[in-house]
A and B are shown apart, each in its own frame.
Chain A
Amino acid sequence: MNIDLFPLILYGGIVIAAIIGLLVASYLLGQKRTDHASQDVYESGVLPVGSPNIKISVPFYLTAILFIIFDLEAVFLFAWAISIREAGWVGFIEVFIFIAILVAGLIYLWRSGALEWRTTRQMDDRQSIKGEGGVVNIKRLGDKTSETPVKGSH
């Protein structure tokens, strides 16, 4: 199937020219002035504190790795979906095994905590919230763990 790509290229050219044209128009028409705070980083009106080169939480990096694995899986599934009638039941069983292995990987990642965004301290706090007598965070109460919390009703 031969497709004439000319309409797409023409449309793409017009779109790119229009968007860049908007920016150029704004550059030419916009006002140009500098106030005493123009050069500052915007942080809700206060002077900026520290550098923007902050340490990034590890789950973002893990998410990127997971994305590569599972998006590659999606690529193979795309190829199977378009040829499902040709591949038949043999292809279906192969894809079933393929998906099963990846789901097993997903379960392993979930149980090993790779998808967990809370720190261990936050996890501990969450587990101790279900105290006797209602919602109370026993850890935050320090050594008074044996006392039952005071109820407001009586």
Chain B
Amino acid sequence: MSDDKLVGIVLVSHSAEVAASVAELAKGLAGGAAAVPVAPAGGREDGGLGTSAELVAAAAATVDRGAGVAVLTDLGSAVLTVKALLAEGDELPEGTRLVDAPFVEGAVAAVVTAATGADLDAVEAAAREAYDYRKV
């Protein structure tokens, strides 16, 4: 936290609209989050529902400021694609991490935390804690 590099956040959904909207929502709910690099990676490159490894890799590259990248996913192929890319070793920026978190609530928590200049561990912890937020 000694330097001012912000953690980047990638939001991977089967749907381009969901990924983009959740990115917008998270930035909107997080005061002062304008500086946080957030990139959606939704759907397939042809616009259909699914996961594109290319879009995920491109999104991660655009948000990488050298402080690590937190990747949040919805389900199924989104999770498996990110895991497979991480296993490749060189497809994603160094310090990229799949964060185990609920997609919407986790994204808000991650962006809010990243906006404070917190490091990747803290951003990941905040996003994971969103699982504990019970609604009833």
Q: Do A and B interact with each other, yes or no?
A: no
Measured CB to CB, the residues of B under 8 A from A are none
Measured CB to CB, the residues of A under 8 A from B are none
